[in-house]
Every structure is written in structure tokens, then in C-alpha cells.
Structure 1
Amino acid sequence: MRHTKTMTRRFTGAAALALAAILTACESDEPTMAPPPIGSTPTPTPTPTPTTGTLDVSRCLSQVVFADGTTVQNLVIPDVLTIDPALPAGFPNGRKLADPVIDVTLAAIFLDIDAPGQSAATLAQIPLNPSANDVALPSGFPFLAPPQGSPPIAATTGTQFNFRTDADSAYERVDRMGFPAVSTALVPSGSKLAYNDGGPVQDASGQYAAGIVATLTALTEALRDDLTGAGLNICAD
């Protein structure tokens, strides 16, 4: 009986200690972890493998937009809006007043315009922008709709205008807008001043090509999820 009573006392004491440990763990907000076995080396937490990979936008720049083989790169570099009378009129061959130039430009530099159901005008077909000018444009000269409201001066003759006759050196270029969105969206911020002071000669020499490619790559990576989520096919690989 003494042996039985001793074992009972020992079991009771061990159970009390275990219960106290459980209660202490429950009262604490800190998670409890079992210590590693004596003599073992703790397994270090694995470091997540960083996700790397850069999109290649060269196929975007090499997309052919005209039957004569003109590519997106030919249109963007040099930054000049050209007109070829042998090709259909309308942006990017010239520019009509109602042409959705920004939508067409963005579609050409981001989307695979050869994918089924896509073209350089794909973004313009998404109903986000007005479908037409709020006042109908005339079919003849001056092609602009009449002003709305009550203009303060009804200009009927050239005598109401004061044309400047200063030499070109008296003016300073603040922006270069040959081809829409190139200077605004594709030229890096650190190069904009030099770019605006430059011209087609510098463009053709490739002076700004690397910066344009880098900016286009960063923009494509940032917008990839949005474009693919909208069911569009991007041109970058």
C-alpha cells in the first residue's frame, strides 16, 4: 500500500506540473514551440527564392503596322509624325482630328496587334472614352467645330490678331510632341530636358533608344496583370 500511495502521490504531482504548464501557455500571447532534441542542430528557416525575370519588349517595337514593313520602332524613333500619300490617311499616317491617337499608340506598344481580335485600335474600341466629339466636325476647311458658348471676340479678319515676328532664337522649346506619347510616357524623366532640346538627328543615332526600351519594359511589367486580366494579349515575351 505504501508503494501504491507513493506512486499515486508522484503521478498527482506530475499531473499538477503539466496542468500548470498548459495554463501558463494558454495565458501567454506568445506561441510556444517545442525545443529541438538535445544534441540536434535546429533547421534554419529557408529563405524565399526571389522572383526574377524581365519582359522582353523587342517584339513590341518590331511589330509591323503598315503593309510596307513600317514597324513601331520606325514610328517612335525618330520622333517625327510622317505622312505617306500612298498609304491610307489617319493616325499613325498623319492624324485626323477625331483619331484616338493615344489609345492607338498604347495598343501598338503594349499589345500583340497580330493576335486574333486585336489591332492597333483595340484600346480605342473599349468604351472608356467619348465615341465622338461633342460637336460634329465639319467635312471641309477649317475642319474644326465652331466654338461653344459666347466667345468674347468674333474674329472675322486678321486685324484682330497680333502675330509675333521674333526670331526663332527668342523662343525656348519646352516639349517635343512629334509622335504622341513618346516624350510624355516613354522617355525617362532624367532625359526629358535633353530629349526636348534635341531632335530627329539625335533620335536616329540611338541616343535615347535604351531609355525608351527600359521605360517600356517597366510600364509593361507594371500593367501586365491589368492587360491580361482584361483578356488582352501583350506583345512582350
Structure 2
Amino acid sequence: MTGPARRGGSVDAFVDEFAGSTTWRAMLAVLESAFPGLGMASALSRRSDVAMHVLDRKAAAKLGVPAWRDEAGMVFDLSAQLGVRTVRPGRGRTVPPRASRPYAGAFVIDTLDPLRYHRAVGGPQAPRDLPGEGALRVPSGAEEDDSGVVIVANLTDAGVRVLDSAALWRYAGRVVTGTLREPGRPETRARARRALWALRRVVLVDPELRLGVCLQIDAARVPRCLLAFGVDEGGAPRFVRP
């Protein structure tokens, strides 16, 4: 993305495909659980489009962290958060993360509270644990192949001060691999590889920072952060684009 026109076209195309996708719906299920009682899923599902602000100083303030544009989308500075954040009471780390699938084509990994599954919005059934071998299909390479993941996490666990698209993708890869690979089961390595290869959209939600970031993984496996949102105290998500 070398110019404003090309950047705008890429973002428009991503948002058009993302809004209403299974990954979008899984994100709404996560937001409904992460910010209960605010009706976020209902409010967003009624919208035919997503109102966005182009990233500038004022829009960055809506995200709650310093942010700026680069060639791959957006970059976020978590310097003020490093070393001062703690795990919330009741959010134990003794239970390893587990993947659930509230909708076909997208799955959810909650690294903060693995025992709290995110129920599909508007449906009575609870999300299912992903079964073992074969849970995530091997993509054929066709354009319609698509899979997404929504990861609930403390973004400072990525271990870097500045999160650009590459750092976000590396962190998401570690979470997906660490969740889907099981000790003593070598066959789960192939499952994790297939999951990573199939991913086209990645959403990371940090409930404590009230921040979400959305990645597009293009055909060349290049990650681009083309959408982010901050959630204000009233429960309204403020979407920002590069």
C-alpha cells in the first residue's frame, strides 16, 4: 500500500468482506461476552456498514493507545502498558487455552479465561470444542477458501513494545499453534499448520485495554492491520482505519 488511494481501496475491500463474515460474527459473540449487558452484538449486527474514522491523532485517542500508519496498515504503541498490567482475578492461567467454534469457518481462542466459551449470538447451543485431527480443513488454494480466528488476550503478552502487523501476526501464530498442538500427540502439529495456512482474518481483542485489532492475511501470506476499534465506557465501538 504505497499511496492513499491504494490504501483506501484495500481497506474498503477488506471491510466489505469482513463485515458480515463468519469471523465478524464470531467477533460479535466475543464482544457480547467480553462486554456483557451493552448490546454490542445486536447494535453492530443491525448495521449494513461500519462507520469508521481515518487514523489521525483524534482517532488514535478513541483507541486509547498511541497509533499511527505504516505500509502494512496500523501500528500500536503499548509502552505505557508494559510491566503494569496484571491478570484479572479469576482469570487463571493454569488452564491452557482451548479453541471453540461458535460458527463454521471461524473459531475463538480465549487465553484469559479458557473455561468461558463464547456462545453463538442468537442461538441456544454453546460453542463446540474443536475436535481432534481434521477439525480444520486443508485449504485448496481457491479464492473462496477462508478461515478466521478471534483471540481474546492481553496484548502485552506479545512481548514487544510496538505492535505492527508482523508482530501481531507472529503473536497470533504462537497462540494458535500453542492451542491446537497437544503434548504427546504429534498429529496435532499438522492440525496447527493447516489452521495457520487457512487463516485469512485474525481479530485480537484485549478486554482490559478495550481494544481490538483486525488483520487481513493476503494470498502472499502478508499480514495487514486494516481495522481497529476501541470500546468506550458506554459500550460503543469506535472503528478506525489507516
TM-score range, shorter chain: under 0.3
Larger Rg: 1
Q: Which has the higher helix share?
A: 1
Q: Normalization by structure 1: what TM-score?
A: 0.23
Q: Which has the higher strand share?
A: 2
Q: Normalization by structure 2: what TM-score?
A: 0.22
